[in-house]
Amino acid sequence: MSKTKNPRRVGENEARAKTRMIRTSPQKLNLVAQMIRGKKVETALNDLAFSRKRIAIDVRKTLQSAIANAENNHGLDIDGLVVSEAYVGKNLVMKRFRARARGRGAKILKPFSELTIVVREVEETA
């Protein structure tokens, strides 16, 4: 007896990639994720390649992973892919402190984020 197959979390014409433990705040990561939502995959990759934000490199890797998942795991055509969802979540926060005058300490928070990108295959209308 084998286990039953897990149901798909996304639709038949969709593929997903998730990156956890990205060392930036969710607010900064969301600015870059906002840039690519709803765009064609090719345009989104170009936008991320020429973005001046440091975290755009990690977002680009995640998008490339979603494209590879669509092509290899789900058999989707990469020319018709669109970034349907790109959302950001919180992850852990490292807490550090900086020594200050008179025996006090100042709190330093180093947040981590997670990014999920869903690409969808859309048919070209003639």
pLDDT at 68: 97
Domain boundaries of the chain, sorted by first residue: 14-121
Secondary structure (3-state) at 18:
strand
Q: How far lies 67's CA from each of 46, 53, 108, in Å?
A: 14, 22, 37
Write down the pTM of the prediction.
0.90
Q: What is the CATH number of domain 14-121?
A: 3.90.470.10
* pLDDT tens figures, 32-85: 999 999 999 999 999 999 999 999 999 999 999 999 999 999 999 999 999 999
- 7 or 103, which is more confident: 103
